[in-house]
Amino acid sequence: MIPLFKDSSQKINNLKQLYSLIHKHGPITKGSLVELSGLKQSTCARLIEELLEEDAILESGLAESSGGRKPLTYQINPRLFYLIGIDISRIYSKILLMDLDLSVLGEARMSMRENSTPELTIDWIQAEVTRLLEKHQIPLSSVLGLGIGAVGPLNRETGMITNPSNFPSIGWRNVPICQILGDYFDRPVLLDNGANTAVLGEYRYGFWTEADSMVYNITGVGIRCGTLANGQVIRGPVDMEGAYGHMTVDIHGKKCTCGRYGCLNAYSTTLAIQEEVMQRLKRGHPSLLRNKGLDVEHIEFTEICAAVKEQDPLCCEVVHEAAYYYGIGLANMMVLLHPNLVVLGGALVTEMDYFYDVTTQTAKEKLGFYPDYPIHFSRGRLGENAIAVGAGSMVFESCLR
């Protein structure tokens, strides 16, 4: 924790409030801080001086004058402390070293394979975090903590990955990852599901000046959803990151892996699309994939993406159906939550413009009876870094709570 913020007196709470406002709106003038914080001008000036003395904030130049002397502006000191953000997914694990502005200073990435056990992955995290800190000459004492965004189910309170679905390696049951890394680095370690950290990352990285209510959907091997309202991530009593994928979109639809019928997961994941394409090829449907001599028993997702770009009728039809159902799911969610912004990520969105276009258009059509609802969709600003950036941001946010 920032030394200045170690107790919980009213003064410290005022300092945290002021620091948070400078972080969000900086460069910002003293006058604007008085207006936003509701503090007296003399109190605000005194607290600014304390933050400057502690190097927590910096003077960052002069603002435009509305008459008279140009006022000073302030911003946080991004290199006062550092953050480690970690993303543990089904496809890869990633580590980011960031400053307090969430600017990435260094990174490491490892593909997740059949041998990517918890032991191997944690050893890799320990070695790579140490390497990144040494490379950038940052002492461990300058790291506020490590944040982890992982595939659920998991237990945030105990810091344990309990039983992630569709992992390529065995052994990921009841892994006390926060305790292991906390003991090794002697730093705070926080865990949350990747969709939650992704929505927090996109929000903190820049969207927080535009929207206070947003949703982040990750669509790949599974479907994961993180929701934020009034600037706070919505968390239930248990980790239900993957529950959105089991929303019913067709009561007479396909059977899902959960045993029920018509779930979004049965249509709008990479695995569902691969399975549908292979089934249609086996039934004799014409396709460029067949013309290329590919094994109809083992069609890869990347091959389907390439075929969609070539406007293959079979693959386009399957992807259109998947995107249509995904758009229905989005519309249902938006009717319930009313977000200002919906960010779509994951392999289906990043690898296929067609999927993104059909999904967003479908959602807009389904919400057509609310013409005044300002619908905003985005692919986000962080790309595949969203989960790890948000995981690091989670640590920073906990210090200001």
* pLDDT on residue 1: 55
CATH (domain of 329): 3.30.420.40
- If you average pLDDT over every residue of the chain, what do you get? 91
Asked if 352 and 312 count as a contact pair (C-beta separation under 8 A), the reply is: no
Q: Which residue segment(s) compose the domain that 39 sits in?
A: 3-76
Identify which has the larger pLDDT, 209 or 41.
Answer: 41
| 237 in the same domain as 321 | yes
* pLDDT on residue 60: 86
| 170 in the same domain as 126 | yes
CATH (domain of 60): 1.10.10.10
In a domain, residue 10? The reply is yes
Asked if 251 and 264 count as a contact pair (C-beta separation under 8 A), the reply is: no
Identify which has the larger pLDDT, 323 or 232.
Answer: 323
| 368 in the same domain as 253 | yes
| 271 in the same domain as 188 | no
How far is Cα 62 from Cα 355, in angstroms, rounded to an integer?
46
How far is Cα 171 from Cα 122, in angstroms, rounded to an integer?
13
Which tens digit of pLDDT belongs to each residue from 184-233? 999 999 999 999 999 999 999 988 888 889 999 999 888 989 999 988 89
- Among residues 76, 99, 134, the one where a domain terminates is 76
* Domains held by the chain: number: 3
| 255 in the same domain as 283 | yes
In a domain, residue 282? The reply is yes
- 389 phi/psi in degrees, rounded to 5: -60, -45
| 329 in the same domain as 233 | yes
| 340 in the same domain as 235 | yes
In a domain, residue 299? The reply is yes
In a domain, residue 132? The reply is yes
In a domain, residue 297? The reply is yes
In a domain, residue 300? The reply is yes
* pLDDT on residue 180: 98
| 227 in the same domain as 105 | no
Residue 358, pLDDT > 70, answer: yes
124 CB-contact burial (10 Å; exposed 0-12 / middle 13-18 / buried 19+): middle
| 389 in the same domain as 375 | no
| 364 in the same domain as 250 | yes
In a domain, residue 212? The reply is no
Mean pLDDT score, 338-347? 92
Which tens digit of pLDDT belongs to each residue from 1-21? 566 666 668 888 889 999 999
Which residues are CB-neighbours of 299 under 8 A, at least 6 positions away?
274, 277, 278, 281, 289
* pLDDT on residue 4: 63
In a domain, residue 322? The reply is yes
| 119 in the same domain as 171 | yes
- Among residues 20, 55, 76, the one where a domain terminates is 76
CA distances (Å), 96 to each of 93, 159, 208, 216, 228, in order?
10, 19, 21, 20, 23
- Among residues 22, 43, 76, the one where a domain terminates is 76
Which tens digit of pLDDT belongs to each residue from 160-186? 999 887 788 989 999 999 999 999 999
| 179 in the same domain as 304 | no
